[in-house]
Chains A and B, each alone.
Chain A
Amino acid sequence: MVKISVTREALSAGLQMVNGVVGARPTIPVLSNVLLEAEADHLSLTATDLEIFVRCRVDAKSAKAGVTTLPARRLLSIVRELSAENVEMDTDDKHMTEIASGAAFFKVMGMAVDDFPAPADFSSGAVFTLEAGALKQMLQRVHYAASADETRYILNGCLLSFRGNKLTVVATDGRRLALAEQEQEIPQESETDIVLPSKTVNELLRTLRDEGPVKITLTKNQAAFEFDNVLVISKLIEGTYPNFRQVIPSHCEERVAVEREMLLTAVRRVALMTSEKSSSVRLSFGKNKLKVSASSPDAGEANESLPVKYTGKEMAVAFNPEFIMEPLRTLVDDEIFFELVDELSPGVIKCSTPFLYVLMPMRIS
């Protein structure tokens, strides 16, 4: 039984770390709860939805080791409302936990720990160590391109390809594709590809810090991420990811540098005049000018011209505005590069770091 003293701040931070995977209506009741495991000098908080498993350790003082489970959402809302610095928790043998903090006192009904699922075994498997910040940035730069169409489940996540001494992270919904890459020492026998579900990617984006290492352990159908005091274990999407190399254009006819922020705001403004029926904006490249325009028979029209250095052939390409804006929002470079072949072939957005984004123009039939 848990008997522990912990700071409100540490408890709150730990609960927020694990709370993301607690579902609203889990199939097994105990999955609405967070598992609390007390040790002499720390408290482990664990939550899972059977697909993802998140554990976070926070500093705490405990007279003796003990475990219990408490409703995750309720516990977090209680802790959020507390104002004293310390929180004392004491569980009886019926999984009733008393929570005392300053003058506030709660008795919270818990549940037995027996049904709480144990995490998978990760004592063997390929191990990689990365910079947490770098992994987070790569995921951030590609994850939005993943598909939400459940009939294409293999695309409902990010591909992490550990090959050729590089980690390549890819996401696509079949219409556009985002790819980020970084050097990574990978022994030949450890080369592998995994597809991480979007939900796990979002959990990682939420929990990964910008500094420190992250240790990744891969087994056949699961991946474990360990960083700071956090452990995230996720099921993987099984199946064969489409050959993404085949859709990356091997050459381009025109390459033009554009100020990222300027293009983003122009597309955002002009897209106001698109409608559900005809959601496309045209990028017209002319001599030292890029015109962004949109028109919709029932709404009206808009255009905005940006100065660019361009002396190539005149070209007008239509894109889904959302597909242009998403990479522009996540990149930080002042300048990005647009590479084009012609009106109907995929365009490419690049920046000064190893990133590329391929997007298919729309056809006005």
Chain B
Amino acid sequence: MALHLLHVDMDAFFAAIEVRDNPALRGLPVIVGAPPDRRGVVSTCSYEARVFGVHSAMPSRTAYKLCPQGVFLPGRHSHYSAVSRQVMEVLESFTPYVEPVSVDEAFLDVAGVLHAWPDAAALARALKARIRERLGLTASVGVATNLFLAKLASDLHKPDGLTVAPEDDASIRAWLAPLPVGRLWGIGQKSEAILAAAGIKTIGDLQGLGEARLVALLGIGMAQHVWPLANGRDERRLSPEPRDERTISHEHTFDEDCRDLERVRGVLLEQAERVAVRLREAGRLARTARIKVRFGDFSTITRQAPFPAPTDTDRELRQAARLLWEREGIRRPVRLIGFGVSDLVTPGEAAPRQPMLFPEFDRSAAPPTRERDRRIDRVVDRLRADFGRDVIRRGE
């Protein structure tokens, strides 16, 4: 298999944009995220700040303790989205096969355009140069034969790195061998601890372990996922058409971990309504709902569920939020709560629906109240647009 997949990861994206836009910040530890005197986390920080041990997802208060001289910025997220769009445009100028993974990273399949370049590395160099010229930002790029290796490679020499993974199986295995097992997708702290207890620290240790022993340690599901990765195999393909991965979400971090779970639930339901409003403003329908809950110890769960049919109504979003919340049966104080929707579709291009012959099997029908809910939502949206959000509230 030839080297044809690229993973492009923008370096310290939000912080880099702030520095670019305000050269006075150059060389300073820039920290984008919540202010240091409030609850909330760092979303990105510059490499200068990382020297102090600051990293993303760290509470801003901790970051302040580590780096009191840091320049804390609240973040201009709509601006970052616009820059992200420009980055994707640059990537698309190389190949139409671009799959954005998040605002600051994407996979590219360049198999179809390689003939115009000496090799994939040359293309990757040109791509990095074009991002720097057009946008004044740097990216780290990994070049490999599959998605997993490409992503791993882009992370090896940050910032402004270019890493080409080996091509043949034996060299790939040898290349992976010295890396810690935590580099494998799906190996979290828990699996890492289990492996460490068995003396398995590097991917090489894991390769030597054999699949059967791995199954015994991690269970069949995890082992079947991790084993091919440890040997550098990854069958996943880049979706040829750009997937619609846009999401709409709201999150809230409580000032103190919230013990009043009724209050948390109330915030969640209100978030569902806010998301519904934005969904309607965007003229889109969502296929999937999800909630995110973070506890005092920073452990975080996300749970998602598909809607029976794509929707944008307050009722269905609230219902999904309530269902996901109740299904978890949370009893612990909550630090952060969030609600979001994903897999957005535009009504006109909604796929034709295959109804069931047997009505008892039909899970995909819209609820009978859909049309009425739509009318109510339209009226409420108009009222709020004219008189403010608090002019009307939903009775429980």
Contacts and interface: CB of A to CB of B under 8 A. Distances in A.
Contact of B352 (A297, A298, A358, A363): A363
Nearest to B361: A174
Nearest to A243: B358
B360 A242 contact: yes
A90 to B, nearest CB: 33
Contacts of A277: 349, 351
B353 A278 contact: no
A247 interface: yes
B349 to A, nearest CB: 6
A356 interface: no
A139 B360 CA distance: 25
Most buried by B among A152, A175, A346, A359: A175
Nearest to A361: B355
Contact of B353 (A176, A247, A298, A365): A365
B350 interface: yes
Contacts of A318: 352
A360 B352 contact: no
Interface in B325-366: 349-358, 360-361
A275 B357 CA distance: 23
A247 B241 contact: no
A24 interface: no
Contacts of A174: 356-358, 361
Contacts of B352: 278-280, 318, 362-365
Contact of B357 (A152, A172, A298, A363): A172
Contacts of A298: 241
Nearest to B349: A297
B357 A175 contact: yes
Interface string A339-359: 000000010000000000011
Interface in A171-205: 172, 174-177
A219 interface: no
B357 A362 contact: no
Contacts of A359: 357
B355 A360 contact: yes
Contact of B355 (A246, A278, A363): A363
A242 B357 CA distance: 11
Contacts of B351: 277-279
A176 B355 contact: no
Contacts of A176: 357
A320 interface: yes
A246 B356 CA distance: 13
Most buried by A among B351, B355, B357: B357
Given A174-B361, A175-B357, A365-B350, 18 more contacts: A174-B356, A174-B358, A177-B357, A242-B360, A242-B361, A247-B357, A247-B358, A277-B349, A279-B352, A280-B352, A297-B349, A320-B354, A359-B357, A360-B356, A360-B357, A362-B352, A364-B352, A365-B353
7 contacts: A172-B358, A242-B361, A297-B349, A359-B357, A361-B355, A362-B355, A365-B350
Interface of A: 152, 172, 174-177, 242, 246-247, 275, 277-280, 297-298, 318, 320, 346, 358-365
Top 10 closest pairs, chain A to chain B, by CB: A174-B361, A362-B352, A247-B357, A280-B352, A364-B352, A360-B357, A363-B353, A174-B356, A277-B351, A362-B354
